[in-house]
Structure 1
Amino acid sequence: MNETHAEKSQNSDDELQAEYGFDYQKAKPNRFALRSGTQQLTVVVLDEDVAQVFTTPESVNKVLRALIESMPQAAKGETA
């Protein structure tokens, strides 16, 4: 006789376990999570052609800072 859905779920290995072992030595910090006491980060996705030229956050920030310096003073405070 065929098993019903309820019977399958009771016999399944997909059930939640009472306790899970977690190896904290293999854990990595979430690089996108805000850390208390540090500056806030904004994540921006670059188009593929731009990402091929600017491969590090430092290179992107350097060019953007130069662009900001070359902008007229009134436009610096405006957001697009």
Structure 2
Amino acid sequence: MRDEYDFSGGIKNPYVRQQKTTVTIRLDTATVDYFKKLSDETSMPYQTLINAYLADCVAHKRRPSITWSEESGAAAQPAHA
């Protein structure tokens, strides 16, 4: 094996899928339970289902409708389109 290789003329593999980004996100227990149940029904990992749902939101440019409670200052559940 050579001590040094020159990759300056190399190109990226066009067949490699786009990488995913690892993030930490806090979700309600009910939300995770919902996607885990759906995971059992569809035989797809629940994280894949969450990603697919969020990707669909991006594709359709869905935005959450959030209203703030004056008493607590906490966000209410978003309305679904």
TM range (shorter): 0.3 to 0.5
Larger Rg: 1
Return the structure number with greater helix share: 1
TM-score under structure 1 length normalisation:
0.33
TM-score under structure 2 length normalisation:
0.33
Higher relative contact order (CA 8 A, sep 6+): 2
